[in-house]
């Protein structure tokens, strides 16, 4: 594809996202699926632009607004053009004359730059300081939430989210050791290194399609961020135990727990979506994990759950959340989340812990985890649970024996994760 055609594809994808609000990766996947003629190198280049614009959307919008152009008041297609032009001008340093060549209006290329869009190239006096949400590339309404979480480190922490996340793998110890898996991947041309925090992790600098390797296809490794692996470590699962993964989703943590149990004991993975559990079933088969029972539940008042009082040594509540900890991978998510979403999610999170508490055996552990940065979804939920449940005590689970496990890209080079660990007191 010519560069102009690539840019038109970028505009198309950004416009689709602006109109639909579905996750950006889903929109991109659907776009490329219906356009098989777009080759892999072109897809990579298009995706790089799309995610570049989304990572720097706050700056793009600020730049345009300062010049009298408001993407927030435009139709999705117009806004997509303005944001792309601004991104190319500010962050890619594209020369002014190149815009006329690339935005030519010829076949497959974007239409010519309009009079309104020309304002993007105007120079104005530079400000000494930018607003925190512009520097940090997030919506303005999130400032008090993120300021509470990071304090004076806000700028540095948020700028770390602008970096591309590494490709982390978890070695499946049911089949292979970490060193054996590393050597296997080296034979395919990758150069994985050991993760510094997770005892089962490998990290690849290359962005190759890991699913095409024999190591992945034979179940030797799974894609899983190191932070997610550390959540599993907090569970302290031991062979022979009975474990409930209450919000199992597609089964990433279920698989890791199965490896820790060495196929001894029992894991029950529940979810309200059968299609997610079907994906887990396929992954379990590939991994050689045979001690997992998959169960679809209707919700927190499911009859099966009611019958499981004090049945489990460990209960993991990997709760639905804002996903703010994954902004390196999903920069669009920050623009799709609202204050109302946070309120609804915290209510759900508290209800999940309320439903999970009776399922834990005396002396057993209840682990609450999110991939959120926000105290409202993390420490506040944990504090509310402890206040309402005096039969549970908080067990320190942080890397430095701190009360909570709290991870971020800047501090740990992982996604943003949180975990709290509660022990059910024996009477």
Which residues are within 8 A (CB) of 63 and not within 5 positions of it... i.e. 6 or more apart? Answer: 86, 89, 90, 120
**Residue pointed to by tokens 């560069």:** 3
Dist. CA 310–CA 313, nearest whole Å: 8
Among candidate residues 386, 245, 250, 379, the one with its CA nearest the CA of residue 317:
245
Q: Is the dihedral of CA 286, 292, 296, 298 positive or negative?
A: negative
CA atoms in the 13 A half-sphere facing the CB of 255: 30
3-state secondary structure of 178: helix
Q: At what angle do helices 40-55 and 3-20 cross, to 10 degrees?
A: 50
Give the active site residue among 321, 371, 375, 397: 371
60 is catalytic: no
Are 127 and 27 within 8 A, CB to CB?
no
In angstroms, the CA 33 to CA 37 distance is: 9
Whole-angstrom distance, CA of residue 157 vs CA of residue 377 = 18
State the catalytic residues.
Answer: 371
């Amino acid at each position: 594809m010519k560069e102009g055609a690539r840019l038109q594809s970028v505009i198309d994808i950004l416009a689709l996202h602006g109109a639909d609000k579905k996750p950006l990766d889903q929109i991109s996947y659907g776009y490329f699926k219906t356009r098989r003629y777009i080759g892999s190198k072109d897809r990579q280049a298009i995706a790089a632009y799309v995610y570049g614009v989304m990572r720097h959307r706050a700056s793009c919008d600020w730049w345009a607004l300062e010049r009298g152009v408001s993407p927030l008041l435009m139709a999705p297609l117009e806004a997509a053009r303005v944001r792309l032009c601004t991104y190319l001008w500010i962050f890619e340093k594209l020369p002014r004359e190149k815009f006329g060549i690339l935005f030519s209006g010829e076949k497959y290329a974007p239409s010519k730059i309009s009079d309104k869009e020309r304002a993007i190239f105007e120079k104005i006096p530079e400000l000494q300081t930018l607003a925190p949400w512009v520097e940090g590339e997030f919506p303005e309404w999130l400032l008090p939430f993120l300021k509470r979480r990071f304090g004076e480190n806000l700028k540095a922490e948020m700028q770390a989210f602008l970096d591309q996340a590494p490709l982390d793998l978890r070695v499946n110890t049911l089949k292979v050791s970490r060193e054996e898996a590393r050597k296997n991947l080296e034979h395919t041309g990758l150069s994985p290194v050991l993760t510094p925090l997770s005892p089962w992790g490998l990290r690849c600098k290359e962005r190759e399609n890991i699913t095409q390797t024999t190591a992945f296809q034979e179940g030797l490794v799974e894609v899983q961020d190191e932070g997610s692996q550390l959540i599993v470590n907090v569970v302290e699962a031991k062979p022979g135990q009975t474990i409930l993964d209450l919000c199992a989703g597609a089964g990433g943590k279920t698989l890791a727990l199965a490896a820790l149990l060495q196929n001894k004991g029992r894991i029950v993975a529940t979810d309200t979506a059968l299609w997610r559990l079907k994906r887990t079933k396929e992954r379990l088969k590939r991994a050689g994990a045979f001690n997992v029972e998959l169960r679809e539940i209707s919700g927190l008042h499911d009859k099966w759950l009611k019958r499981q009082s004090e049945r489990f040594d460990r209960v993991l509540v990997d709760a639905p959340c804002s996903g703010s900890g994954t902004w390196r991978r999903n920069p669009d998510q920050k623009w799709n989340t609202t204050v109302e979403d946070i309120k609804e999610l915290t209510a759900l999170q508290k209800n999940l812990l309320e439903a999970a508490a009776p399922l834990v055996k005396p002396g057993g552990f209840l682990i609450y985890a999110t991939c959120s940065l926000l105290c409202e979804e993390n420490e506040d939920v944990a504090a509310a649970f402890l206040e309402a449940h005096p039969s549970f005590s908080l067990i320190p689970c942080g890397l430095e024996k701190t009360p909570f496990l709290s991870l971020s890209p800047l501090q740990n080079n992982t996604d943003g994760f949180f975990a709290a660990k509660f022990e059910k007191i024996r009477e």
